[in-house]
Structure 1
Amino acid sequence: MQNTGQAQDIHTLLSQYSDSHRNHTNELIHIVCVPLIVFSLLGMIWAVHPLAAVAVVAASLYYYFQLSKPFAIGMLAMAAVMLALLALLPPAAVLALSIAIFVLAWVGQFVGHQIEGKKPSFLDDLRFLLIGPLFVLSFLYRRFKVAY
């Protein structure tokens, strides 16, 4: 792992995010629900216009590249898969499916935080809505020994 100022920022953010995600069950719920929330959010935006979803991905990737190039590359790959899946879905189904997934995944998140006994991090700092996907990706990166 790097020791630059930016790398410290990502480690600090992940550490702060981890403070309310210590319970193993809550972590597992997040590993499932956070990507579903990202997918469903992109789907709702896609339903408005596919280019709007691409623009949101581009903006988030800009932020991720400021924090960590390896994380940004991982998020680019994840977003590309999600956008490709959205492109394969029948356009008429995207919005309803996305709303259903979004609601169910957020219910899962709040159940996880009820189990954890701590409120979601984004209630204190909205940046954590963008850090959540990196938290999930960090499990994969650590498993495969990818530095971030």
Structure 2
Amino acid sequence: MRSQSEFLAAYSRDHQHPTNQLIHMICVPVIVFSTLGLLWCLQIGRWLGLPLEVAEYVNVATVGGLLAFGFYLKLSVRSALVMTGWFALSVVGILALGGAGWLLAAVCAGLWIAAWALQFYGHEVESAKPSFAEDLVFLLIGPLFVMEKVYRALGNRRVSHQA
């Protein structure tokens, strides 16, 4: 498996244009949130016969989140912790939407479609295919790319791929 530095360098090559970078800074978090929201709707806890107080939290999002955590942990502890925080914030938002009576699947589907449309527009501006066209694992690298940009904007010289 490639190192985090190698993944980020490859991802960065396809994301040089400032417009594409800005679109990614906005849309990658929206895509992560909305993807988790859609996966949250795929409940498996009840199917497994778990008690109701636990069952609602056992879904494709939480199971997938555990698998993604393992991937990020192989890259670096820092990345695993950052992405765990991102997952936790997303879950708070998901639970808030549900608690407010919003149709989680409909909201997340709309956000997901709009964010992906903008992402593809960004790649049109860039004149480059999305990185995941080369390797699907780049779908997990996008959030790390965003976090690296945030670290640099905050003046942190120790970027995400230097665990």
Query: Given the two structures, how large is their TM-score scaled by the length of structure 2?
Result: 0.82
User: Counterpart in 2 of 1:68?
Assistant: 76
Give the 3-state SS of the residue equivalent to 2:129 in structure 1.
coil
Q: CA deviation at 1:141?
A: 2.1
User: Counterpart in 1 of 2:11?
Assistant: 17
User: Counterpart in 2 of 1:44?
Assistant: 38
CA deviation string 1:29-69 (max 9, x = no partner): 00111111111110111112242211111111110010011
Question: Which of 116, 119, 122 lines up with 1:112 in the alignment?
Answer: 122
Give the structure with the larger helix fraction. 1
Question: Which of 146, 149, 162 lines up with 1:139 in the alignment?
Answer: 149
User: Counterpart in 2 of 1:3?
Assistant: none
Structure 1 residue identity aligned to 2:34: S
Q: Which runs of 4+ in 1 moved over 6 A?
A: none
Q: CA deviation at 1:92?
A: 5.5
Give the 3-state SS of the residue equivalent to 1:89 in structure 2.
helix
User: Counterpart in 2 of 1:55?
Assistant: 63
Percent of aligned pairs with the same amino acid: 37
Q: Is 1:97 equivalent to 2:104 in the alignment?
A: no
Tell me which structure has the larger Cα radius of gyration.
2
Whether the aligned pair in 2 keeps the contact of 1:70 and 1:147 (CA below 8 Å) is: no
Counterpart Cα distance in 2 of 1:12 and 1:97: 35
Structure 1 gap segments, 5+ residues each: 1-5
The total of aligned residue pairs comes to 142
Whether the aligned pair in 2 keeps the contact of 1:71 and 1:137 (CA below 8 Å) is: no
Q: CA deviation at 1:147?
A: 3.9
User: Counterpart in 1 of 2:21?
Assistant: 27
